[in-house]
């Protein structure tokens, strides 16, 4: 198979192939047929240059063509530049990576050529199943690359693999090494901050987001991440000020409107919250967290049918999280559907792997309302046990738990007294 045929085959499989590329290719093929291959190669720069001027920086094929002509003429460094531009337009096309690797080899850059092969082999291993086992194999492949710690591309992919395997510490170390190579890389700074957030180190996360915003004060991802930490601390007005800056630059961002909506909810402005969350849901219809938040806000407004609708969507979109099931159980209780509420609680408890205190308190209250006091007491004991594991809770939840504990203890004393009176 020739280079043209292989390139065309890969582009046919690529999702980024568009009508512009097809039109340019057809135009160039017509010129090849009219002038002959030798004439195109001798006068090769003219036609691709016209195509590049006509299509701008959005079309990869002129760059590929100029790179191929430069390679045929022996101008390997120039060819490397053109193939690099083509790859920046369509990073998923493996032909460009292969050409770049060949050119590095021809230029004597053997380490760079070999590391590209390690990177793409790891990418292929990961995409076989995209599960934990595939991620581990890809990680081992990347670590086998010579001087892997000196290449940002390898380090960032390694961090992504470690994050998928829940090895957050190693992912942070990989992002730190990548940051040493490119200290002002906004994507690395933002990803590092997000990893610190997952590691529950908000101070380090906020520092990373602050460094990203010092490089670009209007960086949307940095603003969104920093705003979420500010929002988490209860400073909703400050967070809204940050989000307003991000909205001016990227209005069509679902997570941004989700956070704005929850800021309004935190300020008890439920109508504004629903409006923002519905815009977020329109932009990201398959994001379960947005549906979950819509269900929570509707439940707070006592619109239980709407809350059930959105929480059912959240459960269908993410069947492995206990939070939508727990919220759905609360809404079903409000709708007096006790049987299905009990099933939802049971499913939430099955999915809970972290011994969440909140779900155990909700379940204890639910069982107490159904006059099942023994099960309520057992769940309340599990709640207090979860608190000893240093789970952070609001004062309101502790107040409710203490009231329930007093109520159950009074019932227990009453039962003991009644039992004593009945003994002959």
Query: Looking at residue 9, what is its pLDDT?
Result: 44
Alpha-carbon gap, residue 374 to 331, rounded angstroms? 23
Residue 35 lies in a domain: yes
Tell me whether residue 12 is in a domain. yes
**This model's pTM is above 0.75:** no
| Domain CATH for 8 | 1.25.40.10
- Would 41 be classed as within a structural domain? yes
pLDDT in the model for residue 88: 82
* Contact criterion met (CB below 8 Å) for 408 and 384: no
User: 362, 370 in Cβ contact below 8 A?
Assistant: no
CB-based contact 277:266 (threshold 8 Å): no
Determine the pLDDT at residue 55. 56
Measured from the Cβ of residue 395, the count of other Cβ atoms closer than 10 Å reads: 7
| Residue 59 lies inside a defined structural domain of this protein | yes
| Dist. CA 354–CA 333, nearest whole Å | 24
- What are the structure tokens assigned to 57, written together? 């920086």
Note the pLDDT of residue 3. Answer: 46
Whole-number pLDDT of residue 306: 97
Query: Residue 266 and residue 285: Cα distance in Å, rounded?
Result: 23
Instruction: Write the DSSP string, 246-291.
Output: HHHH-S--HHHHHHHHHHHHHTT-HHHHHHHHHHHHHH-TT-HHHH
Burial 10-41 (b: 16+ CB within 10 A, else e): bbeebeebeeebeebbeebeebeeeeeeeebe
Look at residue 46 in the predicted model and tell me its pLDDT. Answer: 55
In a domain, 416, yes or no: no
Quote the pLDDT of residue 388.
74
Give pLDDT < 70 ranges for the chain: 1-58, 94, 110-117, 148, 389-392, 413-424
Provide the pLDDT for residue 422: 54
Is residue 5 assigned to a domain?
yes
Q: Can you give the residue range of the structural domain that contains 78?
A: 1-108
Provide the number of structural domains found in the chain: 1
The total number of residues shown for the chain amounts to 424
Q: Could you give the C-alpha distances from 251 to 50, 206, 330, in angstroms and in order? A: 35, 23, 34
Whether residue 350 lies inside any domain: the answer is no
pLDDT computed for residue 2 by the predictor: 44
Residue closest to 136 by CA, chosen among 164, 117, 176, 155: 164
Is 378 exposed, middle or buried, given 0-12, 13-18 or 19+ CB atoms closer than 10 A? middle
Q: What is the pLDDT of residue 228?
A: 92
C-alpha atoms less than 13 angstroms from C-alpha of 354 in its C-beta half-sphere? 11
Residue 411 belongs to a domain:
no
């Amino acid at each position: 198979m020739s280079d043209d045929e292989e390139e065309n085959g890969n582009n046919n499989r690529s999702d980024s192939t568009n009508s512009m590329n097809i039109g340019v290719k057809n135009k160039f093929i017509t010129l090849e047929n009219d002038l002959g291959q030798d004439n195109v190669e001798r006068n090769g720069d003219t036609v691709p240059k016209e195509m590049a001027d006509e299509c701008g920086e959005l079309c990869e094929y002129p760059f590929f063509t100029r790179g191929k002509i430069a390679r045929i003429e022996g101008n390997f460094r120039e060819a490397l530049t053109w193939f690099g531009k083509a790859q920046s337009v369509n990073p998923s096309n493996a032909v460009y990576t292969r050409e770049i690797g060949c050119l590095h080899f021809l230029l004597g850059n053997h380490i760079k050529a070999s590391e590209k092969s390690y990177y793409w082999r790891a990418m292929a291993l990961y995409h076989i199943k995209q599960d934990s086992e595939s991620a581990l194999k890809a990680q081992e492949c990347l670590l086998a690359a010579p001087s892997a710690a000196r290449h940002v591309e390898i380090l960032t992919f390694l961090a992504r693999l470690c994050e998928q395997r829940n090895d957050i510490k190693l992912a942070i170390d990989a992002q730190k090494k990548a940051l040493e190579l490119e200290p002002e890389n906004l994507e690395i700074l933002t990803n590092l901050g997000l990893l610190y957030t997952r590691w529950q180190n908000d101070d380090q996360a906020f520092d990373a987001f602050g460094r990203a915003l010092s490089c670009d004060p209007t960086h949307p991802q940095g603003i969104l991440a920093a705003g979420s930490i500010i929002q988490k601390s209860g400073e909703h007005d400050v967070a809204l000020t940050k989000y307003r800056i991000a909205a001016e630059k990227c209005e069509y961002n679902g997570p941004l409107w989700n956070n704005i909506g929850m800021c309004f909810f935190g300020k008890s402005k439920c109508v504004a919250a629903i409006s923002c969350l519905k815009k977020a849901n329109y932009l990201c219809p398959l994001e379960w967290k947005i549906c979950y938040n819509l269900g929570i806000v509707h439940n707070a407004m006592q619109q239980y049918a709407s809350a059930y609708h959105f929480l059912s969507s959240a459960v269908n979109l993410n069947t492995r999280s206990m939070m939508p099931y727990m919220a759905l159980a609360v809404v079903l209780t409000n709708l007096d559907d006790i049987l299905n509420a009990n099933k939802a609680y049971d499913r939430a408890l099955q999915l809970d792997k972290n011994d969440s205190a909140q779900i155990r308190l909700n379940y204890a209250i639910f069982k107490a309302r159904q006059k099942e006091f023994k099960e309520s007491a057992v769940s309340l004991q599990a709640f207090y046990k979860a608190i000893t594991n240093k789970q952070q809770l609001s004062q309101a939840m502790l107040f409710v738990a203490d009231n329930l504990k007093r109520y159950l203890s009074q019932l227990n004393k009453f039962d003991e007294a009644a039992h004593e009176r009945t003994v002959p």
